[in-house]
Structure 1
Amino acid sequence: MAAETDASPLADADRPAPPFLGRDPGALARIRQTMRLSVVEGSFTQVFLNWTAGSVLIGYMLHVGATPFQFGLVSSVPLLAQAASPFAAWLAGLAGRRKTLTALFAAFGRGLWALAALLPEMGLPPEARAPFLVLLVAVSSLFQASAGTLWASWMGDVVPDRKRGRYFGLRSGILGVVGMLANLGAGWFLDRVGIPLNFQVVIGVAVLLAAVGIYLLFLHYEPLAASPRPSLRETLVTPWQRPNFRRFLLFSSYWHLSVFVASPFVFPYFLDQLRMTFTQVAIWSAIASTAGLVTTAQWGRVADRVGNKAVLAIGTFLTGSSLPLCWILAGVTGNLAFIWISAVFDALAWGAIGPAFFNLALASSPRENRVSYIATWSLAAGLAGFVGGVLSGPLLTLFLPLGFTWGGVHWTGYHSLFVLSGVLRMLAWLPLRRVRETNAWRTRDVFGAMWSAWRAIGFPWRQ
């Protein structure tokens, strides 16, 4: 056990192999190469994602005069686009291969962003530019969500089961650092170059880097899928007939609804309410990404040992309790130190949630026809997140007139929205507890082990 913990997940990719690979040494070597190559490909893709979302997209939307409802839409339509995932899974079943379809879907979805870079040159009236960006995000997301579903199923077959937590934790941590550097570069550039040229250049370069990532996808190894070719009806219905996976879908839907009730307005709050610059937002992302390199990998190791449920329970509670509190304290005190603290909590919480969520989805689904299960998860999470995002704009509009000042503290509608989302996030353990995971520890047992380990270390002032 100790030797396994210290070994690299990339180096140990040959243990255990997926059953349909047998002991083919050539296939095992290609798996190890693909796991390394996926980190490089993911790095190019991460830069594209960071430069076409987050503070860059929000800043672009502010420039074109988006309304609160449009902010909610542009953050939530990518989730609605995940409704296309089951159809992508069905097409992959007909084709029998996932690599080519993944690359094609990614190429269409990412290539459309060239239109966003050319938006100021298209001659659209000012009032049409924000709706155009929302539409572009929606159409692009249809293809990118389909590509993501196929990629998840494909890599789920490539990465050995016992190494998933560590591998995807390590990969996520590395991509987090790449995203941090990308955010810092974009923030510095956006603050120093005039609008709209700054947004055009950043998005244009992002599209070029995305093309490199798509080329690298073609170099990945694709094992033969251990699944039949299901009908469209089987793709849509079968995952819901599996009781435990159905419970996982309900938990996932609740979680995404809870998060997206507030998440569309975090960056607008930073930029518009706290008056942070793009560089400061990039520094926030840099702190979160740097800390995430450590926390994500460590959480992956913990998940491999104790299971994903306990890691998810801790992470979801932490993101609901710590993040909204820090955002609110920054607003009512005017002290941005709370924002920098929130970046550390963001890394700690989401470093647990990201890999554990993905791995629990894989653990809850059978290898046979797995792509249908991943597609259904994407669909359920996307629809729930879309509903949360659509509700976020009207909720903020409802809360804004209820702001007040008392004892020198100025409470705004943003703060009320963050409290609502925080409470919902902290209660996510309720639907999670019904999901079953083989050999998973209970959360209380994890805390008990942590306390025992702490006591075993001893306190330096004890005699």
Structure 2
Amino acid sequence: MRSRPGAYSRKRGRKFSTSRRNLHMATWEGVPATIFQVLLQGPFLTGFLLYLGASSGQIGLVIALTTLVNVAQVGVAFLIQRLPSRKWALVTFVGLHRLLWSSTGLVPFLFPRPFWVTAFIILYALAFIVNTAGAVLWSSVISDLVPPRVRGRYFGIRNTLLNALGSLVLYGGGVVLDHYPGGQGFLILYIVVWIFSTANVVVFFFYPDVPFEKSDERKFMPMLKKPLHDGLFMKSTLFLSLWLLLQNVTVPLYSYVMLQLLHINYQTLSLLTVFQTVFMMVSFYFWGNLNAKYSNKRLLFWTLPIIAASSLLWGLLSVFPVLLVLVAVHIVFGVGVGGFNQLAFNFIIGDTPKKERPMYMAMYAALTGLASFFGPLVGGKVYEWIENWPHAVQVYGMQLIIGGLMIVLIMLLGHRILKDV
């Protein structure tokens, strides 16, 4: 009889150490992923597209493409139920995504100049079509990998560490582009991208193949109806989709405004993004601690006025120095969007039934992705329409309008929908 408690204790010890090892693996996987993604997104994406000769409308289209393809996640969520193992499917789709995305750096070497933007858009679109499968698989695996009792704290710590790394990469990338303007600077960045995107795929080979608790439904329509018939989930998701539609009219094009209209250099733009990231990191800890006391939905509501305020702050450019206002905008937005992203993810993986979680996550991604697609597309077209309007209207007019609409949305629907049951 005495051996059984000892065996149970050792078993518990092995289980605990395996869980810790899995969490460390998931954190380390984020290191190369963060490095190459930072160098391919945000100001560097906008800058590379401007180098290729893209217009504001084309930049808006490229930014929007990453969210439009999320609609396909609904089909992927159904198909993965048929997989005997998620790990190797995850490795395959992640590898294809990294390969296609990083190959956009070869566009100036492989195509004549008139086709640069078109070739970039095609490769970029293919990369994120493939990523729809990878995103569903990764979200499904990570939700099973991280125990529910430590999710808030773990993702807070993970996000803080990776965003700290991202801040350093952002600043370093800005320095490189300022010292080596044009094609030479982007070639240096893409060499780093090729190295770390490869390393990221290699790390996925060491991911554990965690057991997959599948849906009780075997047909597509009954599985699809699970989230559709969940009234609280659908109301929250539709509201957040409308919110992201407004937010993405302006936020993804901040880099365009700063680079093209305010003539901010890459190093300064990178520093501003670092400010945003640092305060986002601080907010992860803040929101994570609050999440131990308050629900995901209530805290999501609290993030909305902060994001709206960051948009309204652009209006201060009419009376205060440009850099002072931009620093304030990025700090406030970092605090708000850091909480929003973390809490929205916790809401999807924590407030939904485990067996049906892939379809719930896919439905959320599809609806918010569709809304987020139209945001930058509309924003990019508006900047084309107003290019001959007064400079002040081009720089901060749309931000003030969107910020005002956000406040109206919060007052009319936010409190009623994102309330505790």
Seen in structure 2, the aligned counterparts of structure 1 residues 364 and 181 have a Cα distance that, compared at 3 Å, is: same
Structure 1 residue 92 corresponds to structure 2 residue 73: no
Contact 2:163 2:277 in 1 (8 A): yes
Seen in structure 2, the aligned counterparts of structure 1 residues 151 and 432 have a Cα distance that, compared at 3 Å, is: farther
- After TM superposition, the structure 1 = structure 2 runs for residues 370-449 of structure 1, keeping only pairs within 5 Å, are 370-403=357-390, 411-429=392-410, 430-435=412-417, 440=420
Residue in 1 that maps onto 2:117: 130
Shift of 1:32: 1.6
Contact 1:76 1:390 in 2 (8 A): yes
Contact 2:42 2:252 in 1 (8 A): no
State the AA in 1 paired with 2:38: N
The counterpart of 2:262, out of the listed 264, 274, 277, is 274
Shift of 1:128: 1.9
CA deviation vs aligned residue, 1:133-169 (integer Å, no higher than 9, x gap): 2222211111223212221122112222232222112
Residue in 2 that maps onto 1:236: 224
Residue in 2 that maps onto 1:179: 166
- Higher helix proportion: 2
Distance 1:428 1:215 in 2: 44
Structure 1 residue 163 corresponds to structure 2 residue 150: yes
Structure 1 residue 286 corresponds to structure 2 residue 267: no
RMSD: 2.2
The size of the alignment, in residue pairs, is 409
Residue in 2 that maps onto 1:9: none
Residue in 1 that maps onto 2:191: 204
Shift of 1:203: 2.1
The counterpart of 2:201, out of the listed 197, 214, 228, is 214
Contact 1:190 1:199 in 2 (8 A): yes
Contact 1:399 1:416 in 2 (8 A): no
Shift of 1:432: 4.2
Listed as ranges, the gaps of 5+ residues in structure 1 are 1-22, 404-409, 442-463
The counterpart of 2:105, out of the listed 89, 96, 117, is 117
Residue in 1 that maps onto 2:7: none
- After TM superposition, the structure 1 = structure 2 runs for residues 347-386 of structure 1, keeping only pairs within 5 Å, are 347-386=334-373
Distance 2:258 2:319 in 1: 13
Shift of 1:399: 4.0
Distance 2:79 2:191 in 1: 31
CA deviation vs aligned residue, 1:240-296 (integer Å, no higher than 9, x gap): 122122112212211221111112320011111221111111111222222222221
Q: TM-score, normalised by structure 1?
A: 0.83
Distance 2:400 2:224 in 1: 36
Residue in 2 that maps onto 1:147: 134
The counterpart of 2:62, out of the listed 74, 87, 99, is 74
State the AA in 2 paired with 1:68: S
Seen in structure 2, the aligned counterparts of structure 1 residues 114 and 152 have a Cα distance that, compared at 3 Å, is: closer
* Mean Cα deviation higher: 261-270 or 196-205: 196-205
Structure 1 residue 299 corresponds to structure 2 residue 287: yes
Contact 1:183 1:285 in 2 (8 A): yes
Contact 2:312 2:404 in 1 (8 A): no
Identity of aligned residues (%): 23
State the AA in 1 paired with 2:258: F
Instruction: Find the residue that maps to 1:112 and give its secondary structure.
Output: helix
Distance 2:19 2:404 in 1: 42
Shift of 1:113: 2.8
Distance 2:136 2:240 in 1: 15
Shift of 1:421: 2.3
Contact 2:301 2:418 in 1 (8 A): no
State the AA in 2 paired with 1:226: E
Q: TM-score, normalised by structure 2?
A: 0.90
Contact 1:72 1:390 in 2 (8 A): yes
Seen in structure 2, the aligned counterparts of structure 1 residues 230 and 364 have a Cα distance that, compared at 3 Å, is: farther
Listed as ranges, the gaps of 5+ residues in structure 2 are 1-10
State the AA in 1 paired with 2:404: V
State the AA in 2 paired with 1:44: P
* Mean Cα deviation higher: 264-273 or 389-398: 389-398
Distance 2:225 2:114 in 1: 42
State the AA in 1 paired with 2:174: G
Shift of 1:82: 0.8
